[in-house]
Structure 1
Amino acid sequence: CPCALGLATPTAIMVGTGQSAKRGVYIRNGESLETATHLTAIIFDKTGTITEGKPEVTDFINISQLSNEVLLTHIASAEHNSEHFLALAIVNYAQSKHDFDFKSVKDFKVTAGRGLQTKVGHYQVLIGNQAWLEEQNIDIAELLPHAHKLGLKGKTPVFTAFNGKASAIFGIADQPRESAKHAIAALNQLNIETLMVTGDTSETAHHIAELVGIKTVIAHATPEQKLAEIHRLQDEGGSVGMIGDGINDAPALAAANVGFAIGHGTDIAIESADLTLVNGDISKVAETVELSTYTMKIIKQNLFWAFGYNTVAIPIAAVGKLNPMIASAAMALSSVSVIVNSLRINGK
């Protein structure tokens, strides 16, 4: 009976996805579990992925003629409309410094991976990274030495401009996850290349990468550049994983052979990914790859047993050399053996 052949793959996949869920990794489809065993490279976002996703403003440098209170009120009012991790940190910082009511904003526009611009009161406010403000023809030369010092400490610099003039810079710290270094080491032991591709500055990105053991870093990356890096590695014959949590990561998550989303990330990132790290523990990535490899091993064993059994038993039964009762029992045993073998995945 070919029943065992029909059970060989789905039973193993079902047990594998169930075991993965127990470990805090939600797998959307069995194909992702199968694909994970072939990964040759994994790209990490930085903020909220390698780091804890709990950014905190540690530095605020005002070079404008406006008071700190005026600057922070208007900046917080602009950032209040953003869902970005860093925006929340800036709003919290402003609220910790003084009480204020959020001002209304007009013409609010976000450029993914770059920054935002909006009209707050009498001011045209720009907030974003170095490249984006320079693209808007803002002279930020006075802020660059501060940005360099912040980057060397692993802090993310966020530039601001009011009415076309550089006004202030924030330094935002976000510590690496406790599991990050172990997660990277575990992947390296599996001969999987690890890369960090982030929109952050080169100094900040390399500082964090060094702490967790990532050697290949691409900084100042836009969402399009993250996607391009996925395609480059795939074009070289690689099977690529992507781990991210934000809107900026969604295109890369969707294009990767296997996309891992951080559980507390944005809805669009989770929808774009194949797997979700429910608790945000990136050490589960290596465990998932190992589970995938073991599941594929079980599937091969199931197929070998089921095919071998049918190859031997069917000809014997066809010539009447097999007692019907024994044949029925053997048929049931073949299916049960496949199921029992698949259940071994629970012990992995």
Structure 2
Amino acid sequence: SLEAHSNHPLAKSLAYKGELFELTELSEIAGRGITGKINGKSYFAGNDKLMKELNLTVPETEDTVIYLAESHQLLAVATFNSKVKAESSQTIKTLQGQGLKAVMLTGDNRNSARKIQELVQLDEIYTDLSPEEKATIVQKTPRAMMVGDGINDAIALAGATIGLAMATGSDIAMEAGDVTVVGGQLHKITTFFEVSRKTMRKIKQNYFWAFIYNLIGIPLAALGLLNPMLAAAAMSLSSVSVILNSLLLTKSKVK
């Protein structure tokens, strides 16, 4: 009943189509979980951080877990063991081959995160993070690109040099990011870099040819050697050439 009101991806996997309890005083606890009252009694669903705040002891696990509790008693545990996408390892390897450092920021526990690190060969991991802690790490990292899809990633996405949101995630993440990857395919992160590099090359080419036009045309005009009609035509030709060169990007093939 609690998780039916949460936007977290794990909450969606707990979706129940039967009758749910009526909730009052429902509120999300950022980076930790959700709470609400059923028949006047408070219930909490969330991670181990939330349980520790309630002074409850929870077992260590290598999986991602959602705990259900009352104020003074642990009631249930839901364990999640998701598969790593097949393209994850290759995407990370490609990015590392381009000189980038792959770091995972997660609210999950360290044991769970280490499993992922070993599977996809991440350079570094930070675990048990709140949304604010993710944002602090990103903001302290020069030229950081943050990739995320959840509500808990939104602050970090907004604070990164480049915020790249996955379209399969939450709306708030896409609003916070600078770029949205359509389809949720991880390999498109490498495509983003490829498109960026090609765009920068076009910009430099356009600057070069515009500079050459002016380098030749301005001295000729200053010496009175350039007919005003020809000067106007040359300026128009300069603008057209820049536009046409930029439009060639649409013909560029990317993976």
Greater helix share, 1 or 2?
Answer: 1
Instruction: Measure how far apart 1:323 and its partner are.
Output: 5.0
CA distance in 2, matches of 1:266, 1:103: 25
CA distance in 2, matches of 1:338, 1:89: 50
Q: Which residue does the alignment assign to 1:188?
A: 96
Q: Which residue does the alignment assign to 1:83?
A: 7
Q: Which runs of 5+ in 1 are unaligned?
A: 1-76
Q: Deviations over 1:232-264 (max 9, x none)?
A: 21xxxx211111111111111111111111112
CA distance in 1, matches of 2:240, 2:188: 31
Distance 1:304 1:162, change over 3 A: same
Asked if the contact 1:139/1:165 (under 8 Å) is kept, the reply is no
Residues 1:292 and 2:196 aligned together: yes
Q: Which runs of 5+ in 2 are unaligned?
A: none
Distance 1:225 1:163, change over 3 A: closer
Identity of matched residues, %: 37
TM normalised by structure 1 equals 0.67
Aligned residues: 252
Q: Which residue does the alignment assign to 1:218?
A: 126
Equivalent residue in structure 2 for 1:303, among 174, 185, 207: 207
Residues 1:320 and 2:224 aligned together: yes
- Which structure is richer in relative contact order (CA contacts within 8 A, separation 6 or more)? 1
Q: Which residue does the alignment assign to 2:22?
A: 104
- 1:1-348 aligned at under 5 Å gives the runs 77-92=1-16, 100-121=18-39, 123-140=41-58, 144=59, 147-148=60-61, 151=62, 155-233=63-141, 238-322=142-226, 326-346=230-250, 347-348=252-253
CA distance in 2, matches of 1:88, 1:249: 17
CA distance in 1, matches of 2:124, 2:118: 10
User: Could you tell which deviates more after superposition, 193-202 or 318-327?
Assistant: 318-327
Q: Deviations over 1:46-72 (max 9, x none)?
A: xxxxxxxxxxxxxxxxxxxxxxxxxxx
CA distance in 2, matches of 1:297, 1:211: 35
CA distance in 1, matches of 2:239, 2:24: 66
Instruction: Measure how far apart 1:123 and its partner are.
Output: 4.4
Asked if the contact 1:124/1:164 (under 8 Å) is kept, the reply is no
CA distance in 1, matches of 2:27, 2:225: 79
Q: Deviations over 1:200-245 (max 9, x none)?
A: 1111112122222212111101011101101221xxxx21111111
Asked if the contact 2:147/2:165 (under 8 Å) is kept, the reply is yes
Counterpart of 1:230, as a letter, is V
SS at match of 1:158: strand
CA RMSD, Structure 1 to Structure 2 (Å): 2.0
